[in-house]
Amino acid sequence: MPSFLSSRSERVREREQQSANPLGGVRSKYPGPRHEISRDQSLTWWRRVLPVIQSHRVTFVTAIVLSFVSLIFQVLVPNMLSNDIDHTFVRHVASLHGDVVSLVIVGLLAGAAGIISRQFLYNTAYNVEADLRSLIYQHLTWLSFSFYDRVQSGQLISRANSDIRSVQMYSIFAPLIIVQCFIGVVAFGFMLSINWALALISMVVMPILYVVGIKMRRVMFPISWITQARLAEVATIVDENVNGVRVVKSFAQEEAEIDRLADAAEGVAWAYIKDANIRAIWSPWVQNLPQLGLALVLLCGGWMVLHGDLAYPQILAFSLYLLMLQAPFMMLGQLVMMGQRARASAGRIFEILDENPEIVDRPGAYDLLDVRGAIDFNHVNFTYDNGAEILRDFDAHLSPGETVAIVGRTGSGKSTVARLLDRFYDVTDGDITVDGHDLRDVTLTSLRENVGVVLDEPFLFSISIRDNIAYGRPDASLEEIQTAALAANAEEFIVRLPNGYDTVVGERGYTLSGGQRQRIAIARTLLLNPPILILDDATSSIDVHVESGIYEALRGLLTQRTTIVIAHRISTIALASRVLVLDEGHVIASGTHEELLEREPLYSEILAQTTSSEGS
């Protein structure tokens, strides 16, 4: 027995002794996010994100405190300047040199605190962004296939990038702006100490600012949602065109796709322009209303100075404090706009994170161990979410070590059988058992460790061939990888590549031929040594002569496991000891190849059509 075929049960038992992550797999070397978002959907969006931010509380609180310290030093400057002018130039009781040194020291302390604060703040911001992105990816890996059947990949990419960035920016920088607003309160306290009447006059515009802020918030949210949705639409089109570039070019549809993207980009431009128009209308109110307060202060304060009720140094300090108050007001508009965009983005993110997987481990689910390979489909019915009924009273039984071919017309449900056995979907009615265990009673991880699937369109990652083959067993030795490749008849072309097993394949493996990709996929599955193997038309892209070499190597391996071969070619069917013929979702005949040729017309018709299409 080849070395890569041994110790599967040992690996499964080792997994039991390891700590599992929330998704049911082995704990990764990367610790991942320190905390998840709140699952309480009744909370506001920022309260749901708060646990992630709190997990970085040390750096975040340090940033906020140092920002506060920096602003406190800045608030001291006008009062110090007022006292220095009064003592040095009016009363002549202090030296100018000492006053300058004091201001320089305060300025340096404010600058140092500000620099460190920003370093800690950006550190927190990017860590929070990484955590949110990791949480989305983890959740996506947890979701069932039915979710991906209805959601576009571009939408997911957009929500994992631009939407997360919007939430991160507001979550981190909003507290910083609030700190500056608090410093404005401190500045207002100094203004009250200078002249309480003048301080109250300067606040006349505050009620107007509050009303403007509320109205601005209401009009910004809808356009923020539209903007993020249209950005996702552009991402979807780009993703489809990159992944489907061969189809686009083969049908000479480049111009049509360019027009499609241009229309989507125009929709984004419209949303941005609408957003800009709203900002153009409302931002000047927020930014310039404080100037009205400054004008009132100059008018009333000047009158007080002329009548001796206020000293020149005091009106100078008061004006500087009023200018400090304007900074939070000017940021108020930006805060409102960031908040509405973050709210819209958070809603789009929560649409994913609040999605529950349909295929999960039942309470009390146990690991499937020491599998012999007896498979029973007991009167199975299955309907996809779109209402398409695929399997109807599908009934089949496979003995341990048996190789069974499933043959049928396109759409008869052959691939669906493979998806149900690996529990990508759950049956609508009936049940499927392995060694007498209902698939819904065992853990997903242990089931999929025991059921290996080779699809008709295998996916390869943009990594080396060695890593692609060892994807399910990263700890596999080179010797084991080579043995699996040899069994899949892939060794002969791999060794001819520039870097052999270390050759990096292009995106989705398209630098290799279809047959080469399928052979690597077969090797990847064989390396796992599953006791149950599904070959879903796995050699459809392989030359008949190469296919015969693969099957010659596979013959000995298939005797050691239960195998389902979804087949079209007679050469593939020859691997099986029994053939099931499917029509409209149920088994209409079962027997050997020779028996079915004699008594089942549909079987002969299917084979004749396949042979005709290959010959043409």
- Conformation bin of residue 413: beta by default, left when phi > 0, alpha when psi is -120 to 50: left
In terms of Cβ atoms closer than 10 Å to its own Cβ (0-12, 13-18, 19+), residue 525 is: buried
- Closest listed residue to residue 423, CA positions, set 401, 403, 453, 393: 453
Domain residue ranges of the chain, discontinuous segments joined by +: 45-353, 375-615
Q: Identify the pLDDT of residue 550.
A: 65
What is the SS3 assignment for 379?
strand
45-353 folds as ABC transporter transmembrane region fold (1.20.1560)
DSSP one-letter string for 205-226: THHHHHHHHHHHHHHHHHHHHH
Q: Identify the pLDDT of residue 380.
A: 93
As a whole number of angstroms, the distance between CA 190 and CA 197 comes to 13
The beta strand positions in 304-428, using DSSP E, are 375-383, 389-398, 403-408
Give the residue ranges of the chain where pLDDT is below 70. 1-32, 82-99, 240, 242-251, 287, 290, 326-327, 329-330, 332-333, 507-510, 538-557, 610-616
As a whole number of angstroms, the distance between CA 451 and CA 68 comes to 59
Among the CATH numbers 3.40.50.720, 2.40.37.10, 3.40.50.300, 1.20.1600.10, which is that of 375-615? 3.40.50.300
Q: Identify the pLDDT of residue 246.
A: 59
Q: Identify the pLDDT of residue 6.
A: 46
pLDDT in tens, 317-349: 777 777 777 667 667 667 777 888 888 888 888
Q: Identify the pLDDT of residue 20.
A: 39
